[in-house]
């Protein structure tokens, strides 16, 4: 009955909407009385007749933070007389146009922020803005290469003018990104002015000069750099812009292809080319003086994971640094000797600082005290941080000004890294704490944060994790497993929805149209066809392929969703700060497995082996209507969940695997389901009737075991320095690691020659030191004695000489007296 009522309701709304003529103009995102302008209206068939006209989508939907992307406004109608103005983020206007096919176009502007910004479109030269949509602004380092100009051999560009680096430079671009036969290639500079951490602190891009004008739009440009004229050579950071030759120099917000921001070594002043190391040292010393005057940000940044395995597994708090990625060949320009680096996802709370952690081929953290390629913290987080727009929160550029240019000054253009590492020392991992992990997988099975495993096959929507203290909620939806031959009394996870505080609501669900996952943000589909990373309101989302999604919240909580065949595996990672604050199907995270399975009323499950008791436990965590985070955009979802009880009391699953020796799936179950966790795999094959699901369950279980192993806490004893006038062998500082010490020629080692990192987090032995050996001391003592002896001899000679002189004098006097007589 409810099913038919829902269908009639949807069609009735659609009919009334068309009859009454309600409009989506100025109403996008809302549900009106007779029709809808909400994103779900398309699949529900309830859209107002002008929904696509006023609630617009664009192609492409994303572009560089530096602007210049020409995009089409889809499905909206314009005429040749339309005077289009596009407004971004409620304040920045750019001129649009209508093409020969009657399609409206906008040009994205320079923005000092990343993420989705509001888009409003006027067709009457800005008098009214009646169309609404959104635009995704992307960090240049995360932008797909097809959307930007490429500096061929970028290292050469940024070392140009240093010894043995010169000659011709080349850049390329996609010719379709600039709709012109001739292009100008312009140099733009970036600087930050005003007192740091004050209201006057501002960032600014400025047009400097053109490298060439009316160059054929061939997609390539080569040139031999010259020193920039006049004051332009003082600009050390900037980017190149390729734009139509029809525009005047430096015209803002026109269609263009931008390069990534980079050090403008190739146009710096003559003194740089004559003595780049000396020039850079002067800059390095000036930076050192400035850093001494700025506040210390090191105390508020997160510690690095101890191992590469931990760094890659802690996906709620750390993400791959695109400049040093082991999956892309480990080209680590700024961290030689490292094979992979990660960045802390969240900027520090007060100073918006960042943390970077780098690792060598053995998986050990590389420290700046041992290597120029070590991990370095950042005064300004490379990816910026909300609310963006002002230093040090401007994505990319603030990081360049305070952390990257200074690295060029002190380390790359000169050999004075001491200055840099004094202010950017590596953080070791002695205070790092791994997150705890929990998982939902298969038909569906659960592993709690404290390691309790069980199955719950209810049909409905349930609370997986809730933390009132951290304002985090993660919910899961289960649906019956479908089989064409017969009804199967088992369910599987088909969607998860989550939110932290006032963040956007993120929903991930099995996509019925393909073999991937569908993402929704606030009940609207979130496309990942153009980008893999999105900065959203209070949350980040990463989706490198259609079957993998990672959601990251400011608290450090991470949710990984993986599609494996027809099932969805969800892993939740929570940092130590969530301890004793979680409830739900994934248990209470406190290290005590005995209290994990608690009903929503607090009552504990007495028998973890009793499937009926476990079923009652799971049913108690059905979400309440008012707190549901899911999207209901189909007839089935409306009938089965929105208009129904969130836990279906009429659905009763099969609680245990039937023992049927004649079951044709027995052989496959025996082959697939081996080792630890095989009971879950067997259930999914023999009850779920799917060897594919069983195999996916086995893979998920094994992946979780590996994850737990990667996240195991390790003991760090901290960095050990080499002795003065000596050296050390070994740069690993975890439990069991050994470090050996030796002295330079002419010195003797005191203390321990070898020290081992012990289980208590302390080094064995004593501090090593190098001193002058005893034989040298003997030589010195002998020299002193010899000198004293020599002094005695000389003194004796002098005294003897004086005595002889007196005797001679007395003799002469005696002879004189005799003569007088």
The reported pLDDT for the residue numbered 805 is 54
State the residue for tokens 């520090």: 348
Averaged pLDDT, 303-308 = 97
Tokens linked to 501: 């505080």
Q: Cα–Cα distance between 603 and 595 in angstroms, integer? A: 9
pLDDT of residue 819: 38
The answer to whether 51 touches 31, Cβ cutoff 8 Å, is no
Residue 405 has pLDDT above 50, yes or no: yes
Question: Cβ distance 563 to 517 under 8 Å?
Answer: yes
Q: What is the mean pLDDT of residues 310-320?
A: 98
What percent of the chain is predicted at pLDDT more than 70? 91
Range 772-790 average pLDDT = 60
CB 205 within 8 A of CB 192: no
Maximum Cα–Cα distance across the chain: 165
Torsion of CA 558, 563, 564, 566, to 10 degrees: 140
Q: Compute the average pLDDT of residues 311-325.
A: 95
Report whether 90 contacts 118 (CB < 8 A). Answer: yes
The answer, yes or no, to whether residue 776 has pLDDT greater than 90, is: no
| Sequence ranges of the domains in the chain | 18-47, 56-138, 145-274, 277-424, 436-673, 726-771
DSSP 641: I
Tokens encoding 633? 């955009």
pLDDT digits (tens, 9 = 90+) for 536-589: 999 999 999 999 999 999 999 999 999 999 999 999 999 999 999 999 999 999
Q: Quick one: average pLDDT of 632-640?
A: 95
**Distance between CA 732 and CA 36 in Å, rounded?**
61
pLDDT tens digits for 335-381?
989 999 999 999 999 999 999 999 999 999 999 999 999 999 999 99
The band of 802, judged by pLDDT with boundaries at 50, 70 and 90, is low
Residue 780 confidence (pLDDT) above 90: no
Mean pLDDT across the chain: 92
Question: pLDDT band at residue 793, thresholds of 50, 70 and 90?
Answer: low
Q: How many angstroms separate the CA atoms of 659 and 654, rounded?
A: 13
Look up residue 715 and give its two tokens.
């003991």
Residue located via tokens 């990251």? 552
- pLDDT of 453 > 80? The answer is yes
Residue 565, phi-psi category: left (phi > 0), alpha (psi -120 to 50), beta (remainder): left
Place of tokens 């600009």: 235
Instruction: Give pLDDT, residue 789.
Output: 62
How far is CA 627 from each of CA 65, 164, 475, 552, 622, rounded to the nearest angstrom?
Answer: 36, 65, 10, 21, 10
* Measured distance CA(123)–CA(79) in Å, rounded: 9
Residue closest to 478 by CA, chosen among 464, 496, 465, 460: 460
Say what the pLDDT of residue 10 is: 36
pLDDT band for position 775 (50/70/90)? low
Q: What is the pLDDT of residue 613?
A: 95
H helices of 168-275, in order, are: 270-274
Task: Give the model's pLDDT for residue 526.
Answer: 95
Q: At what angle do helices 678-686 and 691-710 cross, to 10 degrees?
A: 160
The whole-number average pLDDT for the span 58-78 is: 96
- Does 726-771 carry CATH code 4.10.320.10? no
Q: Cα separations (Å) of 49 from 55, 82, 325, 353, 538? A: 11, 22, 48, 49, 34
User: Does residue 817 have a pLDDT over 50?
Assistant: no
Question: Which residue do the tokens 């604050």 mark?
Answer: 581
pTM score, two decimals? 0.89
Interior/surface letters 170-179, b for 16+ CB within 10 angstroms, e for the rest: ebbbebebbe
Residue 15 has pLDDT above 70, yes or no: no
Query: Per-residue pLDDT for 737 more than 60?
Result: yes
Position 12 scores a pLDDT of: 46
Under the banding of pLDDT at 50, 70 and 90, the label for residue 803 is: low
Give 329's pLDDT tier (boundaries 50, 70, 90): confident
User: Per-residue confidence at 322, pLDDT binned at 50, 70, 90?
Assistant: confident
Q: What's the full length of the chain, in residues? A: 821
Q: If DSSP codes are grouped into helix, strand and coil, which group holds residue 405? A: helix
Given pLDDT bands bounded at 50, 70 and 90, which one contains residue 145? Answer: confident
Q: Which of 564, 575, 787, 809 is nearest to 694 (CA)?
A: 564
pLDDT value at position 804? 60
Instruction: Provide mean pLDDT across the span 171-179.
Output: 96
Q: How far apart are CA 650 and CA 644, in angstroms?
A: 11
Question: What is the structure's pLDDT at 333?
Answer: 82
Of 230, 190, 186, which Cα lies nearest the Cα of 206?
A: 190
Q: Could you tell me which residues come within 8 angstroms of residue 354 by beta carbon, excluding any fewer than 6 positions away? A: 301, 343, 344, 347, 348, 377, 378, 380, 381, 382, 383, 399
pLDDT digits (tens, 9 = 90+) for 667-685: 999 999 999 999 999 999 9
Query: In the CATH scheme, what is the code of domain 56-138?
Result: 2.60.40.10
Q: Is the pLDDT of residue 96 over 60?
A: yes
End-to-end CA distance of the chain: 165
User: Does the pLDDT of residue 723 top 80, yes or no?
Assistant: yes
State CA 162 to chain mean position distance: 32
Residues ≥6 apart with Cβ < 8 Å to 651: 458, 459, 480, 489, 491
Cβ–Cβ under 8 Å, residues 97 and 55: no
Confidence at residue 788, expressed as pLDDT on a 0 to 100 scale: 66
* Distance, CA of 195 to CA of 199 (rounded, Å): 8
* CA dihedral over 594, 598, 603, 608, signed as positive or negative: negative
- The answer to whether 41 touches 35, Cβ cutoff 8 Å, is yes
| The pLDDT value given to residue 512 | 86
């Amino acid at each position: 009955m409810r099913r038919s009522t829902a269908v009639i309701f949807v069609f009735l709304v659609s009919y009334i909407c068309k009859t009454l003529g309600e409009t989506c103009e100025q109403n996008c995102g809302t549900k009106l009385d007779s029709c809808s302008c909400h994103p779900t209206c398309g699949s529900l068939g309830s859209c107002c007749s002008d929904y696509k006209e006023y609630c617009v989508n664009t192609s492409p939907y994303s572009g560089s933070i530096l602007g210049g992307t020409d995009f089409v406004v889809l499905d909206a109608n314009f005429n040749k007389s339309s005077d289009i103005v596009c407004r971004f983020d409620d304040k920045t206007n750019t001129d649009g146009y209508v093409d020969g096919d009657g399609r409206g176009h906008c040009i994205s502007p320079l923005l000092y922020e990343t993420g989705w910004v509001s888009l409003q479109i006027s067709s009457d030269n800005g008098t009214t803005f009646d169309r609404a949509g959104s635009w995704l602004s992307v960090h240049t380092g995360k932008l797909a290469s097809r959307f930007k100009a490429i500096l061929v051999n970028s290292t050469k560009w940024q070392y140009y003018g240093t010894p043995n680096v010169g000659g011709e430079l080349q850049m390329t671009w996609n010719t379709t990104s600039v709709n012109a036969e001739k292009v100008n290639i312009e140099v733009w500079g970036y600087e930050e002015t005003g007192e740091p951490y004050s209201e006057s602190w501002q960032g600014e891009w400025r047009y400097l000069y053109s490298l060439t004008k009316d160059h054929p739009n061939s997609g390539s440009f080569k040139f031999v750099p010259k020193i920039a004229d006049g004051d332009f050579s003082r600009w050390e950071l900037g980017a190149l812009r390729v734009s139509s030759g029809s525009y005047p120099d430096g015209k803002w917000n026109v269609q263009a292809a931008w390069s990534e921001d980079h050090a403008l070594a190739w146009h710096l002043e003559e003194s740089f080319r004559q003595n780049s190391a000396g020039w850079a040292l002067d800059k390095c010393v000036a930076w050192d003086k400035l850093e001494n005057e700025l506040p210390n940000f090191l105390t508020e940044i997160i510690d690095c994971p101890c191992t590469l395995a931990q760094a890659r597994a802690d996906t709620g708090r750390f993400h791959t640094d695109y400049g040093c990625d082991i999956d892309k060949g480990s080209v680590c320009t700024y961290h030689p000797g490292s094979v992979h680096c990660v960045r802390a996802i969240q900027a520090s709370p007060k100073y918006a600082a960042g943390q970077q952690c780098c690792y060598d081929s053995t998986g050990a953290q590389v420290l700046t005290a041992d290597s120029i390629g070590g991990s370095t913290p950042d005064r300004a987080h490379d990816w910026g941080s909300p609310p963006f727009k002002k230093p040090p929160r401007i994505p990319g550029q603030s990081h360049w000004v305070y952390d990257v240019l200074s690295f060029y000054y002190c380390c790359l253009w000169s050999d004075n890294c001491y200055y840099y590492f004094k202010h950017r020392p590596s953080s070791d991992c002695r205070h790092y704490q791994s997150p705890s992990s929990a998982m939902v997988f298969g038909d569906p099975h659960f592993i709690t944060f404290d390691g309790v495993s069980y199955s719950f096959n209810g049909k409905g929507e349930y609370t997986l994790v809730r933390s009132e203290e951290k304002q985090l909620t993660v919910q899961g939806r289960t649906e019956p497993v479908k089989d064409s031959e017969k009804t199967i009394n088992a369910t599987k996870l088909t969607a998860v929805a989550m939110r932290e505080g006032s963040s956007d609501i993120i929903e991930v669900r099995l996509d019925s149209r393909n073999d991937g996952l569908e993402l929704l943000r606030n009940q609207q589909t979130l496309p990942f066809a153009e980008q893999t990373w999105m900065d959203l309101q209070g949350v980040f989302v990463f989706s490198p392929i259609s079957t993998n999604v990672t959601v990251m919240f400011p608290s450090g909580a991470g949710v990984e969703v993986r599609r494996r065949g027809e099932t969805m595996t969800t892993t939740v990672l929570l940092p130590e700060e969530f301890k004793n604050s979680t409830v739900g199907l994934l248990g209470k995270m406190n290290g005590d497995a005995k209290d994990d399975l608690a009903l929503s009323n607090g009552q504990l499950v007495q028998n973890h082996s009793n499937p009926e008791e476990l079923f009652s436990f799971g049913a108690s965590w059905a979400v309440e209507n008012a707190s549901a985070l899911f999207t209901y955009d189909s007839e089935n979802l409306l009938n089965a969940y929105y208009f129904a009880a969130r836990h279906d009391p009429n659905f009763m699953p099969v609680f245990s695997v039937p023992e049927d020796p004649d079951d044709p799936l027995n052989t496959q179950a025996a082959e697939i389901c081996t080792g630890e966790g095989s009971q879950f795999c067997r259930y999914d094959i023999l009850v779920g009737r799917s060897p594919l699901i069983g195999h996916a369950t086995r893979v998920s279980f094994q992946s979780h075991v590996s994850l737990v192993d990667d996240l195991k806490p390790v003991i760090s004893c901290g960095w050990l320095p080499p002795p003065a006038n000596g050296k050390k062998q070994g740069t690993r500082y975890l439990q069991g690691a050994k470090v050996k010490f030796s002295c330079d020629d002419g010195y003797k080692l005191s203390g321990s020659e070898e020290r081992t990192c012990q289980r208590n987090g302390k080094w064995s032995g004593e501090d090593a030191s190098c001193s002058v050996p005893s034989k040298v001391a003997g030589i010195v003592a002998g020299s002193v004695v010899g000198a004293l002896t020599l002094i005695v001899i000389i003194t004796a000679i002098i005294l003897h000489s004086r005595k002889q002189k007196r005797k001679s004098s007395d003799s002469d006097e005696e002879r004189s007296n005799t003569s007088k007589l």
